[in-house]
Structure 1
Amino acid sequence: MSMRDAVYARISEDDLGTERGVNRQLEDGRALSAARGGQVVMELHDNDVSALNGAHRPGYETVMAAAASRQIDRIIVFHTSRLWRNRRERADGIDQLKAAGVSVLSVKGPELDLSTAAGRMMAGILGEFDTAESEIKGERVARAALQRAQEGRANGAVLYGWRRVHEFDDQGRATGFADEVDEESADVVRAIVARLLDGETLRGITERLNEQGVPAPGAGRRRSHRAKGQSDTGALWNKTSVKKLAIRPANVALRVYHRGRPDEALLPAAWPPIVSQDDHDRVVALVTAPDRGVKSVARPGSRVHLLSWGIGECGVCGGHLRVARKGNMRYGSKKLLYFCDTKGCVGRGRDRVDDFVGRVVIARLSQPDAADLLAHDDKAMVEALARADVLRAKLASAADDYVDERITAEQLHRITARLRGQLDEAEALARSAQLTPHAKLVLDLAGETAAATWASFSLSQRRAVLATLLESVRILPVLRRGPGFDPRTVEIVWREGSARH
């Protein structure tokens, strides 16, 4: 009776998703099975998946399940490293195949009878070489990555907003590269930042980019996977990609080293900046503000009305305001009202409330001291930013010491934990001392032309101004019955320092 063979293939990296590597391995495995008198009963592969860190491998798991249920007698791989790289997974796999009586046969290697002690020993020895090879390669890659970070060079493909210029020696051999500003794509980044600071929403910016046919970063590149709703060419933008592009440190010539790890650090980059530091700080503060979700709650119609779901609130229960048409058709058409969405405590005509709020804001910004609304402490901000730079340098130095084996991993962790807390405090202080994200909008309104400028603003821009100057607009219960609008039933709560005393 012929051996029932399962041919398994794996490739760690296949960015283009061509699967040519795994197909070659499967072809060689089929040929070896035939030469050994076997019968291939299943073929499985995991493409573009590393086995070193225990990543999910559906093909491998299916093969091991087939072995456990006695559906196969032998697993054929190109090399044992295609089956196991991880020590724990290898040990578990050897035990499972031993219990199932399944052997491993390599195209470029021996056949391992895991029912014998000698076979298991050989599998362990070969596997240890495989693991060591991966770990040594990982160390080389990590050291090269650290050097790139210290030199400020990009880690991989050129970033959106720049173009890569390769350098060659006299014999035409590549010796390096430099990233220069690509004005066309850099202008897209600058426009996104400017629109956010002008009060536009991420959704609105995303829709406009797609309507204008501006290709998204990475458009046209081959990908094995695309995000849901994305076109085959990858040309569409989404809110996440717009947000990431707007706030990435690369825009001000900084690069992140070891993002998300204990030794994460911001280091100077070798490429030129494409956004001013001031605009970058303000847009980061705007997009990442903790109260962003409070003042601009993403609800249906949240950008259709000035005060709904965010700035406006019920003066009785503190609930959000929403807008609906209410009234008696017997006395004419229904009117749009702001009303309490929680209990229906209050209700007031939308247009009259919007007009009143606008007039109050215009009156405040028409005063000579309007610019004082945005007073900030330049000295405090500069000192905090300098302190943050020193702390980032210390984090980078600690990372160097660890790589050069001058400190242990435990010491690195303790140093990083302490410096990280100090860095977070310094960055928070810098953000609190800097200009408000929508400073330009407020300053544009200041002066005698406030009314005309307010009239020219979009709804999103008006909301941004209100969010900058006001804590809330509260609708209070009516004081008397009857027609007409009573301004006393609308309470405007200014942010500290905004109201004229």
Structure 2
Amino acid sequence: MTLFQKGATYERISKADAGDEDGVIRQGEDTAELAARRGIPIEGRRFRDNDKSATHGRHRPDYERLMAAVKRGEVDVIIVYLLGRLWRNRRERAEGIELLRKHEVSVLCVKGPELDLTTAAGRLLAGLLGEVDTFEVEQMSEREQREMRQRVERGQVPTGPRAFGYTVDGTEIIDEEAAEVRKMFEAVAAGASLSGLATDLNKRQILNRNGKPWTHNAVRYLLLNERYAGLREYNDVVYPGKWPTIVTEDQWRQAVAILTNSSRKTSPGPARRWLGSGLYQCGVCDNGNTVTSAQRPKVKSRLTDPALQGYQPVRTYKCRGPVKHLQRVAEPIDQLIAGTEPGRPLGLVPQLLLRDDAAQLLLDEERPDMDELSAKAATLRARLKNMTDAFAEDDEADALEFKRAVRRVRDRLTEVEQQMTSPARAAVLGDLVASDDVIAAWTAMTLDRKRAVIDMLMTVTLLPGKSGRAPFDPETVRIVPKSR
């Protein structure tokens, strides 16, 4: 008759393909066979962790339930295929051996000895066998790390899950997905929020690499992934890769700088729905407090047939501070700042973008050499004009030589103008200033982009409106241009 009356089995596989349980099933068959051969009852005490590593002490639900059963005195022997299935790291092994010693629990191995952990000899043997297991794991880890470093140094494509924008093997670009990746990098550089990007992707039914809707964190992870710039980080060192890139290194580094800025709001809350929420400031406090969006109780709409009893909520902006001393109807304020509605005055932002000198909005006036660069640019423009005038009056001038000379001067002018341009302003305003149809480009922009443009150009402060039914007064909105 067996000495053990409360047997338990434990099976574990570190890595298994999705849905593959053949490995732990085989272990279970062998441990059950050993229990039957020894006459050890195991009913209701079978524990199994599939695809769970024990090397780093990660959460193993059934192992924890097994140890809880040991503490309750419900187990007097644990049957495993190998001792390494029970423990793989030193800390967990030491804790486990002490727990089994305290509760007088032995270990039986299908491939290995019987370990009586109530004796010093049994604990010594368990410790020695465990050290062999740990040595094998650490040696394998060292080989894998060396192989990984070699792959990185050679610029080979990263292994693992497919990256959005690339094929499964990572060697080719999927054009449709890559276009969305580029849009995301451009949008975050232009001031878009992560939640707003996720909302836009989901609205257009663009699914992530797993075929699921996008989340704030999924967009953030993509933008921080150096793989899109053809780079790979290993042990805090960035190496160049040999796979096709989707964005430039500068674009990726700009996104990283934006997303890791400590002053950036990181809450993955809902995307902004209104133009001035958290952007316009309260002129009553006048201390930098921003206003938030709100809705007044629904009022009857004058535009609706009275017979239909139509009611509409009124969007408002109110102070974010503890005292709600400011509340303004949102629509006329937003129209004043950004409106393009036909038949109504054009908003201040579109007016700025339509000016002949709108390109000046891109200049970085904080550059210490801005005067010198401006002088160079003026000289080059004058040279171009003189060259054009001279060519027009010289019937014998060589047209090909003229074109080459003009191209050289224009290339130098472009270089100087790029030096004069603020990268941040170019990211936010560049496509608008360069657009052939500014109004259409502005109207088509997402709310995030419009907010970024407003924040780049001006500070909007709301003052108390006039009481009663007085018409909207633009003087109750203070606009202060921001310096470049």
TM norm structure 1: 0.71
Asked if residue 313 in structure 1 is aligned to residue 290 in structure 2, the reply is no
Task: Name which of 102, 105, 120 aligns with 2:123.
Answer: 120
2:196–2:272: 8 Å Cα contact kept in structure 1?
Answer: no
**Cα displacement (A) at 1:192:** 3.3
| Counterpart code for 1:119 | G
Structure 1 residues 373-425: Cα deviation after superposition (integer angstroms, max 9, x where no partner): 33359999xxxxxxxxxxxxxxxxxxxxxxxxxxxxxxxxxxxxxxxxxxxxx
When structure 1 is superposed on structure 2, of 104-113 and 448-457 the one drifting more is: 448-457
Q: CA deviation at 1:91?
A: 1.9
- Partners of 1:183 and 1:331 in 2: CA distance: 50
2:293 to 313, 318, 322: 322
> Could you give the per-residue CA deviations for residues 292-337 of structure 1, whole angstroms, max 9, x where no partner exists?
429xx8767x6332112x2112112224232323798799987543
1:273 partnered with 2:250 = no
CA distance in 2 between partners of 1:113 and 1:147 (Å): 45
Matched, 1:256 2:260: no
Note closer, same or farther for the CA distance 1:299–1:78 as it changes in structure 2 (3 Å cut). Answer: closer
Q: Work out the CA distance in 2 between the residues paired with 1:447 and 1:182.
A: 28
Relative distance call for 1:139 and 1:103 in structure 2 (3 A) is same
Secondary structure (helix, strand or coil) at the match of 2:293 reads strand
Measure the CA separation in 2 of the matches of 1:328 and 1:156. Answer: 59
Residues 81, 127 of structure 1: 8 Å contact kept: yes
Cα gap change, 1:446 to 1:476, in 2 (>3 Å)? farther
Instruction: Indicate whether 1:465 and 2:453 are aligned.
Output: yes
Distance in structure 1 (CA, Å) of the matches to 2:433 and 2:427: 10
Contact 2:185/2:251 (<8 A) preserved = yes
How far did residue 360 of structure 1 move?
A: 2.6
Moved more, 195-204 or 99-108: 195-204
Say whether the 8 Å CA contact 2:7–2:40 is kept in structure 1. Answer: yes
1:63–1:488 distance in 2 versus 1, CA, 3 Å? same
Would the aligned equivalents of 2:191 and 2:428 in 1 still touch at CA under 8 Å? no
DSSP-derived class of the 1:7 partner: strand
Pairwise CA distance, 1:366? 3.5
Larger Rg: 2
Q: Is the 8 A contact 2:195 2:268 kept in 1?
A: no
Contact 2:71 2:103 in 1 (8 A): yes
Q: Which runs of 5+ in 2 are unaligned?
A: 304-311, 339-346, 369-420
Offset at residue 6 of structure 1 (A): 0.5
Letter in 2 for 1:186: A
State whether structure 2 residue 332 is matched by structure 1 residue 352: yes
CA 466–101 in structure 1, closer or farther in 2 if over 3 Å, else same: same
* Deviates most, 22-31 or 346-355: 346-355
CA deviations over 1:132-183 (Å, ceiling 9, x no partner): 1111111111111111111122332353333366xxxxxxxxxxxx823333
**Cα deviation, residue 341, structure 1:** 4.0
- The one-letter amino acid paired with 1:323 is A
Given residue 243 of structure 1, which amino acid in structure 2 is its aligned partner? Answer: R
The question of 1:188 aligning with 2:165 is answered no
**Structure-to-structure mapping, 1:23-102, within 5 angstroms:** 23-41=25-43, 42-102=45-105
Q: Give me the whole-angstrom Cα distance separating, in 2, the residues matched to 1:146 and 1:377.
A: 45
Contact 2:295 2:313 (C-alpha < 8 Å) held by counterparts: no
Residue aligning to 1:436 = 424
Q: What is aligned with 1:411?
A: none
Q: Shift of the alpha carbon at 1:214?
A: 4.0
Q: Give the letter for the 1:337 counterpart.
A: T
Distance between the aligned counterparts of 1:25 and 1:437, measured in 2? Answer: 63
Q: What is the identity, as a one-letter code, of the residue corresponding to 1:11?
A: I
Q: Secondary structure of 1:321's partner?
A: strand
CA distance in structure 2 between the aligned counterparts of 1:334 and 1:207, rounded to whole angstroms: 24
Describe the SS at the equivalent of 2:318: strand
Matched residues in 1 for 2:154 and 2:130: separation?
A: 36
State the number of aligned residues.
Answer: 408
Q: Secondary structure at the match of 1:109?
A: coil
Paired residue for 2:309? none
Q: Look up the SS of the partner of 1:436 in the other structure.
A: helix
Q: What are the residue-to-residue correspondences of 1:69-468 with 2, within 5 Å?
A: 69-157=72-160, 158-163=162-167, 179-196=171-188, 201-210=193-202, 212-217=204-209, 219=210, 234-258=211-235, 264-293=236-265, 303-308=272-277, 310-317=278-285, 318-325=289-296, 335-342=314-321, 343-358=323-338, 359-376=347-364, 435-436=423-424, 439=427, 441-445=429-433, 450-451=438-439, 453-468=441-456
Q: Does 1:488 align with 2:447?
A: no
Q: Quote how far apart the aligned CAs of 1:479 are.
A: 7.6
1:452 to partner: Cα distance: 5.3
Q: Is the 8 A contact 1:365 1:445 kept in 2?
A: yes
How high is the TM-score relative to the length of structure 2?
0.74
Flag the 1:364–1:92 CA change in 2: closer, same or farther, 3 A: same
